[in-house]
Amino acid sequence: TGGEDGEAQFGEFPWMVAILQEERIDGQAKPLNLYQCGGALITPIVVLTGAHCVAGKSINGLKIRAGEWDTQTTKELYAHQDRGVAGILVHPRFNPKSLHNDVALLTLLDPVQLGGHIGLVCLPDQDQIFDYKRCFASGWGKDKFEQDGQYQVILKKRDLPIVPNPQCQELLRKTRLGAYFLLDASFICAGGEQGRDTCKGDGGSPLVCPSDTDPNRYYQAGIVAWGIDCG
């Protein structure tokens, strides 16, 4: 998530999870938790994320953290919950080069306990259209692209407009992707505003849109996959 402002409030995105890989270091009693990607709780025992985050990975040492907010402290109002990953299901037509169908499910060894700061995101109907809505992406991704970017300590959020795919394809053809770029139907586009973007490390994180009938209910419209730089 690019930019300097936009910190999420504690518990504002209760479905947001961090996908972590445990790595043991010689001489240290506790393993390191290496941040891999974001994801979203769709049931207490299933996480929706990007296939590019987990395709080909072993479940050994792979876990999710629900209820996280500030990654540098354990003194939050309510504790986070870690759960091991029991299985990885990648979309059968996922293409790791083009990132078409960039969808995966993680099943957990044990369900998370839902509460005030841990909840589920709603899934939309298959034919639901989000064009022109203002939606939200969240994550602990970098604030800048390249090496000088830093991963965020506190969960960040960005409100982004949904861009219809034909319009998005025309805009992307004006970038380094070239005049013949074809946007696959498995993608949804969001952004296009200066200083508002997702970034490296936001992959797998949910793009959520408020319900037309209940502004406090959010539906997951997409999964952060790729973009043109950051910002």
Say what the pLDDT of residue 196 is. 45
Domains of the chain: 16-108 (2.40.10.10), 133-224 (2.40.10.10)
Say what the pLDDT of residue 95 is. 93
Give 69-121 pLDDT, tens digit per residue.
Answer: 888 776 677 889 999 999 999 999 999 998 999 999 999 999 999 998 999 99
Say what the pLDDT of residue 6 is. 82
- A 10 A CB-CB count for 133 gives 15
Say what the pLDDT of residue 148 is. 42
Say what the pLDDT of residue 145 is. 33
Say what the pLDDT of residue 151 is. 57
Is residue 224 within 8 A of residue 190, CB to CB? The reply is no
- A 10 A CB-CB count for 52 gives 21
Say what the pLDDT of residue 169 is. 86
Give 155-165 pLDDT, tens digit per residue.
Answer: 999 889 999 98
Q: What is the pLDDT along the chain (231 residues), one digit of tens a residue?
A: 444 448 899 899 999 999 999 888 777 778 888 889 999 999 999 999 999 999 999 999 999 999 998 887 766 778 899 999 999 999 999 999 989 999 999 999 999 999 989 999 999 998 888 998 999 999 887 443 334 445 568 899 988 999 998 888 888 888 888 888 888 888 889 876 554 445 555 789 999 999 988 988 999 999 998 765 444
Is residue 199 within 8 A of residue 141, CB to CB? The reply is yes
CA distance 124 to 127: 8
